[in-house]
Amino acid sequence: MANMPSQDIADMLVDDVVGAKADTIWINKEPSDSALKTPDAFLIIYDTGGTDPEATGKIFDKPTINIRVKGRKGDYSGAQVMIQAVKAALHQRDSETKNSARYMGIWQVGEIAFVEYDDQNRPTFTANFRMHRTY
């Protein structure tokens, strides 16, 4: 059984030095302020379902994820740089195997969007990705 896509994507982003798990990459849950080790920017990867899997007799899934970047307080441009780094790392990524799942492709869906400044004045951006994988 393969990991949820969020785990594999987190590992890809760590490999690409976009973030470090437990410090800057969180999965399916935003950290509490007390859980943050530094006031630096961080990102959260959410599993968001996907489209129907292929009915080919093999497991061929088409999951989607949402990635939300929260920047340092008041640092709009820093958060924008981080979400752009995520896009550069994932959009049209070459085929690879990660944690027993083979990813044939990853593509951004729509454009990066600025969402808000949160209660702590951290700028928030979001991007969505779809992928094809088998395991």
| Cβ neighbour number for residue 79 with a 10 Å cutoff | 23
The closest alpha carbon to 42, from 130, 135, 132, 120, belongs to: 120
DSSP helix/strand/coil, 35:
helix
56-109, pLDDT tens digit by residue? Answer: 666 788 999 999 999 999 999 999 999 999 999 999 998 999 999 999 999 999
The answer to whether 67 and 89 have CB atoms below 8 angstroms apart is no
| Residue 117 host element (H or E) | strand 101-117
Residue ranges in the chain assigned as alpha helix (H): 5-15, 76-90
Q: Is the pTM of this model over 0.95?
A: no
Q: How does pLDDT run across 6-51, given as a tens digit for each residue?
A: 999 999 999 887 766 767 899 999 887 766 656 678 999 999 988 7
What CATH class has 5-134? alpha beta
- The domain ranges of the chain are 5-134
Nearest partner of 36 among 71, 80, 82, judged by Cα = 71
